[in-house]
Amino acid sequence: MDFRSELVGCFSVGSNGNPSVEMVEAAFRHHDMNFRYINCEVTPENLGSAVAGAKAMGWVGFNCSIPHKIEVIKYLDGLGESAKIIGAVNCTVLRDGKFIGENTDGKGFLTSLQAVTNPLGKSIVIFGAGGAARAVAVEVALAGAKSIVIVNRDPTRGEELVALINSRTKSQATFRQWAGMFEIPQGIDIVVNATSIGMNPNSSAHLELDINSLQPNMIVADVVIDPPITHLIKAAQVRGCTALNGFGMLVNQGILGIKYWTGIDVDPEPMHERLRQLL
């Protein structure tokens, strides 16, 4: 018998609220893999030490969540192609003794979105300009989105993301500063909340969005998974929109991460089922 499990996990702040551990371990159990996933509370000042410690202990990889997706890059040995373009990492894999940063967030979101619509030729509003927003924006742009409006409070980060999209993809991106209640412009097909607004333990928080500007023909997506039905999802449903919660993005990026770490294509259903049980 082999009494040593291969280790993976997630470095974040607020790690006690991250259900990825249950989702990923459900896949490990289903496929009888000798792997363990560990949620780790890692503050920004300890991030470099955590990465070095994971390498010293022989971890085969790890996820990064809020607030580490951009900052972690300085502690890695290299980046995969998607992470280079996006400028953010949510998944690291050990290759030839080196930690290489990848980004599965955007691909996970895109797979979830494609289950209800093709972003090709669509006009999209994205709230946020952090790691998740960058991943989502780049992937929908590479998938052929016609135009992308980035809505963010910090103009520097928002304009940086707009410049990235315009320079590295064929989509046309514009920036709108988020100051007070935001009204969705006419002609928008897809609205995405790529911020943590509405996530537990602050689930009572509302996106500053004029709900009346949501139209029934729109697809409204929220990357928040806990709770799975956020205020934005509820409002979108009331307005007759097609609503997409964060489960699909989380499961799909988890599948990609497990493939990086183990080489195995896992069945998504045990992962979905465990999230439904928990949330």
Q: Is 106-245 the same fold as 6-103+250-278?
A: yes
The domain limits of the chain are 6-103+250-278, 106-245
DSSP state of 182: B
- Asked if 116 and 190 count as a contact pair (C-beta separation under 8 A), the reply is no
149 residue type, one letter:
V
Look at domain 106-245 and name its CATH class: alpha beta
CA 204 to chain centre: 21
Q: How much is the pTM? A: 0.91
Written as tens digits, the pLDDT of the chain (279 aa) is 788 999 999 999 999 989 999 999 999 999 999 999 999 999 999 999 999 999 999 999 999 998 999 999 999 999 998 899 999 999 999 999 999 999 999 999 999 999 999 999 999 999 999 989 999 999 999 999 999 999 999 999 999 999 999 999 999 999 999 999 999 999 999 999 999 999 988 889 999 999 999 999 999 999 999 899 999 999 999 999 999 999 999 999 999 999 999 999 999 999 999 999 998
Q: What would the two tokens of residue 185 be?
A: 């412009």
- Asked if 127 and 194 count as a contact pair (C-beta separation under 8 A), the reply is yes
Does 69 participate in catalysis according to the annotation? yes
Q: Which of 37, 40, 60, 36 is nearest to 50 (CA)?
A: 40
172/38 Cα distance (integer angstroms): 40
Domain covering 6-103+250-278 assigned CATH 1.10.10.10 in the classification: no
28/32 Cα distance (integer angstroms): 6
